[in-house]
Structure 1
Amino acid sequence: MSSSRYTFWVLILVVVIAGASQGLTIPLLAVMLEQQGVSSVSNGLNAAALYIGMLLISPWLEVPLRRLGYKATIFWGLCLVTLATVLIPIFSNLAVWFVLRMLMGIGDSGLHYSSQMWVTKIAAPERRGRDLSIYGLAYGMGFSIGPLGINLLPLGFWVPFASLTVLYIAAFILLARLRNDFPEAAQAAPAQKTKKENRYASVIRLSWLALIPSFLYGFMETSLNGSFPVYALRTGLTVEWVSVILPSFVVGSIILQIPLGALSDRIGRKRVMFVCGLVGATAFMLFPLSGGNVWMMMFLLGIAGAAVGSFYSLGLAFATDLLPGSMVPTAGIIASMNFGVASILAPNVNGLLMQLWDPRSIFWLMALLLVAFSVSCLLFRTNRSHQETVAA
């Protein structure tokens, strides 16, 4: 095996571990706070700390990446995640947990950004798309496996965190065998500087519809992992069932992610997202009607995941269709920020809805957002002349 392929598969294993970490800590801490009698609003605010950390650090990650290299940036991100994981069971103060979860978000963001950029660099052009798909599937698999760690709580509240620490140690060992690498030197582009202040506005004007899916995916993912455990406990489900039901959404998205991408190549991204939005909305609307039927819950979440679990990648692909090549990186930045903002809003909005209205409202809200998006698909029209003007 060549050194680049070895590096690739090590990074895949590391991202599986990172996905399992995030997939476990979000619902685990939500369950622990609910069992301690913490209000749903405070619970949601605490969950948002992870994404606040991600949002704060994202604009600055290129600096350590260029100065320290891929491996070193991943290493320090993993150090922050490990430190936060070890300290969380030691403290029970909400404010301390908020800070630790922010550190975890900063570490996670650095780890994922560096590993994704490293995979992009070492992948051969003829298999770059496939390799990035494998990367996304690896994270999804880890994220879907993570909630199963909630079942370790009866052995002791520290046991799930200790298990994560063991996985981090394995990731450190794998990373130690890699040789550090650096991104290519940035090329100055003086001619583009005069247009810098207009670039974000132009991207939004040309591809606003393609940027919405990243917000929707962030809102749905965080609603399910951060707010569903609270909903489940308040409607009579056990912690053990929560750990089994939650992965259904991710499993559904894994199964159909590549087929939906291929279908969008043939019939168009907008058509695929329009139909998927309606299917996902229907699944979320029906979810509260499943009552205590766990298998029906798993089925509906699986349908929702299959329909909208690939929204982030479909949205970016649609943006690439609509925009000149030079503007695609800007669209990626906006999509990342949309995801972060939605991930911060979701647990807080859901916590408020559950406290003031009805626990089922979190699913009604997601259904409403998806219906609004599908209506937007019908209203969106591509302005070719403006696109060509910006490209020039």
Structure 2
Amino acid sequence: MFEVFKSSWALLLGMLLLMLGNGLQGSLLGVRGGAAGFSAFEMSIVMSAYFAGFLFASRMTPGMIRRVGHVRVFAALGSFISAVIILYPAVQHPVAWALGRVVIGFCFCGVYVTAESWLNNSATNETRGQTLSLYMIVQTLGIIAAQALLLIPDPSGYLLFVIPSVLVSIAFAPILLSISPTPTFETTKPMSLPSLFSTSPLGCVGMFLLGGVFAAQFGMSAVYGTEAGLTLKQISIFVASFYVGATVLQYPLGWLSDRMDRRRLITMVAALGGVAAVVAVIMNENFTVLLCAAFVIGGSSNPLYSLLMAYTNDFLGPEDMASASAGLLFINGLGAIAGPLITGWVMQQVGPGGYFILIAALLLLLTGYALWRMTRRAAPLTQETSAYATLTPAASPVMVELAQEFAIDAADAREDDADDAGADRAAGTE
């Protein structure tokens, strides 16, 4: 791990600063939108726009990089991010903010694709798993730390918009000054959706539902806090709790994933998150309960992304894993676009509690569907399943492919070990 950090510290530092800026601007808009009198549904449109831009960029950025190169794309998109963040307080209108969020989502995805392609290029077969883990830790810690910046005095002024703009601008320095452009790359063409669904119905349905859950927690948690009357400090802690849970529970669940029927684990984890959301609906006046619920929901939804990806891989050969992951990423993106819109509409109808009602509905629906799928076909043998690779729903196509390469390497290593063991047994019987 130390060797990976030593060779990639500039990239990781830059990504940490980027996540600080992204995590702060998302939560800040939720707080300032309420202060500006935007309704929950208007804010849901603003938050949904980010995921629309993110999805478009995942398809368009590779072509941009092939035409003009990594450095130019990286610098240009970063400049747009800084500019849009500064413009938010100057034009306080939901339509303007929604357009800005489309640009922000597009640019952040493009920046992630570019930076992660450099990171992927520096990883070897021996370090790929460590690189992936370290990157995900840095990414999550950046979002958690960003919530503390909300507590800087005067949230009604320009300062809290200047800070993420500066953080994003500074983030490019360690990256651009320490690396050279990598060769152009080709992203994998997604598997057709009918083929993907026939391969893993649970993977497809689960990814769509999970997109809505993640978008609600990433885009609408600060909006919920504002609508529920939480203080700025409480909103900061509440939003951070989702990502603390994701960090703490990701690896224990990953360990279990490689040792039991993944459908059972998916069912239990989704049910745990759904029950936590139901408790939050019932006991919404207790802030401690809200924090515990956020911790469990975050600790459930983020590992579920990796679990569903790994479960789908269980029914694929190594040659199909990358194209399947691209298809799952697209499905998850569609769910992420719809998630905030539905959340905002539900909150508009029933009040702030609609936030947890929707999360509960999505996770319990995933639980029920997983239980039903368990009756449709047998689970693959545990020793024949693919490796679990840690991912977050915010991962770009490049990082998903890096995770798939890790899974393929692990699958190949497992086959080699099995062949060696078989050869040893055969030699012992002679």
Q: TM-score range with shorter-chain normalisation?
A: 0.7 to 0.9
1:318-346 CA distances to partner (integer Å, 9 max, x unpaired)? 22222222322222222222232222212
Partner Cα distance (2:241, 2:2) in 1: 36
1:324 to 317, 327, 334: 317
Aligned counterparts of 1:183 and 1:383: Cα–Cα separation in 2: 43
Does the 8 Å contact 1:23/1:147 carry over to 2? yes
Show the counterpart of 1:260. Answer: 253
State the partner residue of 1:137: 137
- 1:16 corresponding residue in structure 2: 16
Counterpart of 2:92 in 1: which secondary structure?
coil
Question: 8 Å contact 1:86–1:165 — kept in the other structure?
Answer: yes
Separation in structure 2 between the aligned mates of residue 211 and residue 73 of structure 1, nearest angstrom: 32
SS state of the match for residue 237, structure 1?
Answer: coil
Q: Cα–Cα, structure 1 residues 378 and 286, in superposed 2: closer, same or farther, change >3 Å?
A: same
Deviation of 1:143 after TM superposition, in Å, equals 1.4
Asked if the contact 1:82–1:165 (Cα under 8 Å) also holds between the matched residues in 2, the reply is yes
- Counterpart of 2:334? 341
Alpha-carbon contact 1:50-1:101 (below 8 Å) kept:
yes
By how many angstroms is 1:44 displaced? Answer: 0.9
Aligned counterpart in structure 1 of residue 207 of structure 2, from 208, 214, 221: 214
Structure-2 separation of matches of 1:19 and 1:340:
19
Unpaired runs of 5+ in structure 1?
190-195, 386-392
Cα deviation for residue 128 of structure 1 reads: 0.7
Whole-angstrom CA distance in 1 between matches of 2:229 and 2:329:
35
Q: Which residue of 2 aligns with 1:223?
A: 216
Counterpart-to-counterpart distance in 2, 1:43 and 1:197: 32
Please list the CA deviations of residues 276-315 of structure 1 after superposition, one character each: whole Å capped at 9, or x if unmatched: 0111111011012333322221122112222232122222
User: Partner amino acid for 1:350?
Assistant: T
Q: What TM-score do the two structures reach when normalised by structure 2?
A: 0.80
- 1:259-338 correspondence runs (5 A): 259-338=252-331
1:247 deviates by: 0.7
Change (3 A) 1:285 1:59: same
Asked if the contact 2:4/2:127 (under 8 Å) is kept, the reply is no
Return the alpha-carbon distance in structure 1 between the equivalents of residues 216 and 75 of structure 2.
29
Q: Which residue of 2 aligns with 1:123?
A: 123
| Cα contact 2:208–2:334 (8 A) shared by 1 | yes
Please say if residues 121 and 182 of structure 2, whose CA atoms lie closer than 8 Å, have aligned partners that are also in contact.
Answer: no
For 2:185 and 2:269, how far apart are their aligned partners in 1?
A: 40
Name the amino acid aligned to 2:357. W
Q: Which residue does the alignment assign to 1:182?
A: 182
1:369 maps to a residue whose letter is L
Q: What amino acid does structure 2 have at the position aligned with 1:32? A: R
Report the count of equivalent residues.
378
- Within 5 Å, which residues of 2 pair with 1:49-128? 49-128=49-128
**Contact kept? 2:147, 2:237, Cα under 8 Å:** yes
Residues 298, 267 of structure 1: CA spacing in aligned structure 2 closer, same or farther, 3 A cutoff?
Answer: same
Contact 1:270 1:377 in 2 (8 A): yes
Determine whether 1:369 maps to 2:362.
Answer: yes
Matches within 5 A, 1:145-160: 145-152=145-152, 154=154, 156-160=156-160
- Quote the Cα distance in structure 2 between the aligned partners of 1:367 and 1:55: 25
Given that 2:191 and 2:326 are in contact with CA atoms closer than 8 Å, whether structure 1 keeps it comes out as no
CA 1:165–1:228: 2 relative to 1, 3 Å: closer
Measure the CA separation in 1 of the matches of 2:312 and 2:190: 20
SS of 2:259's equivalent in the other structure is: helix
Amino acid at match of 1:287: A
Cα pair 2:210 2:332 within 8 Å, conserved: yes
C-alpha displacement of 1:33: 1.4
Match of 1:390 in 2: none
RMSD: 2.8
Residue 59 of structure 1 and its aligned partner are, at CA, apart by: 1.2
Give the Cα separation in 1 of the matches to 2:117 and 2:21: 20
Q: Report how far residue 6 of structure 1 moved.
A: 5.0
Q: Do the aligned residues in 1 keep the contact of 2:4 with 2:131 (CA within 8 Å)? A: no
Distance (Å, rounded) in 2 between the aligned partners of 1:314 and 1:24: 28
Supply the AA of the counterpart residue of 1:331. A
* Alpha-carbon distance, 1:106 to partner: 0.9
1:238-296 CA deviation, whole Å, 9 max, x = no partner?
12211111111110110111221121011132222111011111101101233332222
Aligned partner of 1:389 in structure 2 is none
- CA shift in 2, pair 1:329/1:383, >3 Å: farther
2:323 maps to amino acid:
T
* Mapped pair 1:241 → 2:230: no
Q: Which moved more, 1:348-357 or 1:241-250?
A: 348-357
Residue 351 of structure 2 aligns with which residue? 358
Amino acid at match of 1:324: G
